[in-house]
Structure 1
Amino acid sequence: METESYLQLETDRLHQLLVLHWQGFVPSEVYREGLLEGIQISRREGLHNWIMDMKQMKVIRQADQEWTLATWFPQFQLLGVNRLAFIVSDDIFNQMAVSSMVATLRPQFRAEVEYFQELASAIRWAQENNGGFSTFGRLSVK
């Protein structure tokens, strides 16, 4: 399966930042693998700020939403993420899925959570507590 057509990951070690760029209608296998890869990279690199760029992402399947809540989120919490930004999708069904998941998890979140319309604003917000800008290192999920 061609993962790179659905997801690209970028890291900014100086600002402890991981950005997940999602595109299209992401197959379950890629969605789950990508989120777990994000956890591995974040843990390995000490990245404590995340941006979920969902601008071009379509709906998230119900089964994947349930998996996110039950399986992925407990692992994410263990990372000690400080800030989690969402770039709002153009797809209304994705917006509803993300809003529903975040609303369910909000009482448990340790991270600050914000929504943005554009990537640049989310990057500035995520980097605020670490100062300055730097160059991203592009990674892709295999």
Structure 2
Amino acid sequence: MADTESFLRLETDRPHHLLVLHWQDFVPSETYREGMLEGIQISRREGMENWIMDMKLMKVIRQADQEWTIASWFPQFQLLGVKRLAFVVSDDIFNQMAVSSMIATLRPRFQAEVEYFQELPAALRWAQENGGGSSVSSLFSVK
């Protein structure tokens, strides 16, 4: 990541209707929630049907933020009609446990295909299937 002080960088790949959220470090609650909601806004505005949550460098997600994700963020996410959601698995075991717990709770309500990847390039290939060329642009960064 170019800016090592950032907690989040959002990028779009418009030809593939793809939004990528690159998370890093131990993200403060306010920043986590702001970033997740910004993802919703970008998806609504630009018709993003595929998401990648790149959590490779992200640390644990606070319990309160996990609960907020399930109760407040997920219902808004469902309304977007996202078709594919990829997770690039964190190197942090506590983040892995938090994400697994949230997905286990939400799995019965998911309309999107959900896949897990160890590396971003594999997640990008999967999320970009059935699309054209790539035109990635950086949209948003949170410090």
1:46 aligned onto 2:47: yes
1:139 aligned onto 2:135: no
How far did 1:132 drift?
3.6
Q: Percent identity?
A: 80
Give the structure 2 partner of residue 92 of structure 1: 93
Long gaps (5+) in structure 2: none
Q: Specify the code of the residue in structure 1 equivalent to 2:136.
A: F
Runs of at least 4 residues of structure 1 off by over 3 A? none
The answer to whether the Cα contact below 8 Å between 2:26 and 2:61 also exists between their aligned partners in 1 is yes
Whole-Å separation in 2 of the counterparts to 1:136 and 1:117: 21
Q: Specify the code of the residue in structure 2 equivalent to 1:6.
A: F
The answer to whether the Cα contact below 8 Å between 2:6 and 2:141 also exists between their aligned partners in 1 is no
1:18 aligned onto 2:19: yes
Give the SS at the match of 1:40: helix
TM-score for both structures, normalised by structure 2: 0.94
TM-score for both structures, normalised by structure 1: 0.94
Query: How large is the Cα RMSD of the aligned pairs?
Result: 1.0
Give the structure 1 partner of residue 110 of structure 2: 109
Alignment of structure 1 residues 1-80 onto 2, 5 Å: 5-80=6-81
The total of aligned residue pairs comes to 138
Whole-Å separation in 2 of the counterparts to 1:135 and 1:45: 14
